[in-house]
Amino acid sequence: MAARPVKPWEAPFAGLLTIALIAQTLRPRPTLFANYTYFGQALLRGHLWIDNWPGPRIDAVLYRGHYFIVNDPVPGFLMVPFVKFWGLHASQALLGVILAGVAIGATWKLLANLGASVSTSIWLSAFLLLGTDLWWCTSLSDVWFLAQTSAVAFTMLTLLELSGKNRPWLVALWFVLAIGSRFTLVMATPVILWLVLRGGLVTERHFNARRAIWLAAVFVPAVALWVAYNEARWGVPWDSGHTIFYHQDLYAGSATGSPFSFANVPYQLWSFLIQYPRLFPRYPFLVPRYSGLALTWSSPALLCAFFARRPREIVVAMWVATVLVAIPSLLYFVNGYSQFGMRHALDFEPFLLVLMTLYLRERFPLWAKVLFVYSLAVGAWGVWFWRVFYRVNS
pLDDT tens string 109-145: 999 999 999 999 999 999 999 999 999 999 999 999 9
Determine the Cα–Cα distance for residues 218 and 176; give it in Å rounded to an integer.
Answer: 8
Q: Which of 362, 337, 311 is nearest to 120 (CA)?
A: 362
Strands 286-287 and 66-69: unpaired
Strands 278-279 and 66-69: unpaired
Determine the Cα–Cα distance for residues 258 and 281; give it in Å rounded to an integer.
Answer: 41
- Does residue 349 surpass a pLDDT of 60? yes
Asked whether the beta carbons of 38 and 68 are under 8 A apart, the reply is no
What does the pLDDT average to over 180-208? 91
What does the pLDDT average to over 390-394? 68
220 pLDDT tier (thresholds 50, 70, 90): very high
Asked whether the beta carbons of 144 and 343 are under 8 A apart, the reply is yes
pLDDT tens string 262-300: 999 999 999 999 999 999 989 999 999 999 999 999 999
What does the pLDDT average to over 26-36? 76
Q: Which of 226, 104, 214 is nearest to 169 (CA)?
A: 214
Dump strand ranges (E) for the chain: 60-63, 66-69, 278-279, 286-287
394 pLDDT tier (thresholds 50, 70, 90): low
For residue 253, the model assigns a pLDDT of 79
Where does residue 333 rank: exposed (0-12), middle (13-18), buried (19+ CB within 10 A)?
Answer: buried
**Residue type present at position 220:** V
47 in helix, strand or coil?
Answer: coil
Asked whether the beta carbons of 174 and 157 are under 8 A apart, the reply is yes
What does the pLDDT average to over 308-317? 94
Phi then psi for 50, rounded to 5 degrees? -95, 145
Report which secondary-structure segment, H or E, holds 233.
Answer: helix 211-234
What does the pLDDT average to over 215-222? 96
Alpha-helical regions (H) of 275-339: 295-298, 312-331
Determine the Cα–Cα distance for residues 314 and 129; give it in Å rounded to an integer.
Answer: 23
Determine the Cα–Cα distance for residues 340 and 382; give it in Å rounded to an integer.
Answer: 6
For residue 162, the model assigns a pLDDT of 96
Determine the Cα–Cα distance for residues 377 and 55; give it in Å rounded to an integer.
Answer: 36
Task: List the beta bridge partners of residue 372.
Answer: none
Q: Which of 91, 159, 93 is nearest to 124 (CA)?
A: 159
Model-wide pTM > 0.85: yes
For residue 314, the model assigns a pLDDT of 95
For residue 223, the model assigns a pLDDT of 97
Determine the Cα–Cα distance for residues 311 and 328; give it in Å rounded to an integer.
Answer: 28
Question: To the nearest whole number, what is the mean pLDDT of the chain?
Answer: 93
Q: Which of 348, 353, 265 is nearest to 305 (CA)?
A: 353
For residue 154, the model assigns a pLDDT of 98
Length of the chain: 394
Domain borders along the chain are 10-390
193 pLDDT tier (thresholds 50, 70, 90): very high
Long-range pairs of 223-229 with CB within 8 A, sequence gap ≥ 24:
226/180, 229/48, 229/73
For residue 29, the model assigns a pLDDT of 59
1 pLDDT tier (thresholds 50, 70, 90): low
Asked whether the beta carbons of 322 and 177 are under 8 A apart, the reply is no
For residue 203, the model assigns a pLDDT of 72
What does the pLDDT average to over 248-255? 81
Asked whether the beta carbons of 106 and 156 are under 8 A apart, the reply is yes
